[in-house]
Structure formats: structure tokens, C-alpha cells
Amino acid sequence: MMENNLVAQIFHPAMGTVMPHNAFGLYAEASLDAVCSEVARIEERLSRFLPGSDVARVNGAAGIKSERLSLETYTVLSKAVEFSRLCPGCFDVTIAPLVALWQRARESLTQPDASSIQQVLPL
């Protein structure tokens, strides 16, 4: 049976949500520290909410110019595109411009017009 001091749990905000982490054993606290550091490192590259991240830069440059990415980000985005193609209508990694259009419309209590939708679809 494990002693209580060998169990650790944290909840921390990251990637637009709250992440719960549990660790057990002699190195539980150190493991959670490592998890939090790794999540922060990944978020710095992949978050759409952090302006300097690779993903935020790609989203900001959509339809305007290309962006240089880390190999890690390129690999993740390539897999996301692959999953989008494998799951049409269920998952689309390129949906951010359309979501932003609908968010703006919701704020004004209107629906986006067809021409606005057509304008963002290529992005």
C-alpha cells in the first residue's frame, strides 16, 4: 500500500483549459514539475491563444504569407491535417478563421453573410 506522501495531484490552467495531473511514487512531485514544464513548452509552440506561438503565427498569416515552423510544430500540424482528411465533417484543423467569423457575428447578434463565409473558407 502506498503512503500518502507518495501521491501528488495538481490542477493548472494550460492550453485554454484546466489540466489535472496525478502522480504516484517516490518521484511524484518531481514528475509533476516535469509535466508542467513540458506542457508549458508545448503550449509556447502550439497554442492558438499565445500570440507568439507557431500556431498563432500561422493563423495570423493565413492566406497572406507562409511562416517558418519548428519541426515539432510541422509534424503535429501535418498529423492534424491527415486526421482532418480521414474524418471529413468530424474534425477540421483549419476551422479557426470560420470560428472567428461566427464569434464576431455572435457578438453583434447576427449571422455571417454568405460572402463573408466564402471569403474565409480558403483560409
53 within some domain = no
User: Are residues 39 and 75 located together in one domain of the fold?
Assistant: no
Per-residue confidence band for 1, with pLDDT thresholds at 50, 70 and 90:
very low
Cα→Cα distances 2→6, 10, 17, 26, 30, Å: 7, 18, 30, 10, 17
User: Are residues 7 and 36 located together in one domain of the fold?
Assistant: yes
User: Are residues 34 and 93 located together in one domain of the fold?
Assistant: no
**pLDDT above 60 for 2:** no
Over residues 13-26, the mean pLDDT reads 91
118 within some domain = yes
Q: How far apart are the first and last CA of the chain?
A: 55
Which residue(s) pair with 21 in the sheet? 10
The total domain count for the chain is: 2
**How far is CA 16 from its chain centroid?**
8
User: Are residues 65 and 39 located together in one domain of the fold?
Assistant: no
Strands (E), 15-119: 17-24
54 within some domain = no
User: Are residues 42 and 101 located together in one domain of the fold?
Assistant: no
Mean residue pLDDT across the chain: 89
**How far is CA 63 from its chain centroid?**
20
User: Are residues 65 and 112 located together in one domain of the fold?
Assistant: yes
pLDDT digits over 48-75, tens only? 889 999 999 998 898 889 999 999 999 9
pLDDT at position 69 is: 94
Interatomic CA distance for residues 121 and 65, integer angstroms = 16
Output the nine-digit C-alpha cell for 32: 509533476
Range of the domain at 18: 1-46
User: Are residues 35 and 79 located together in one domain of the fold?
Assistant: no
51 within some domain = no
Interatomic CA distance for residues 37 and 31, integer angstroms = 10
Per-residue confidence band for 6, with pLDDT thresholds at 50, 70 and 90:
low
pTM over 0.85: no
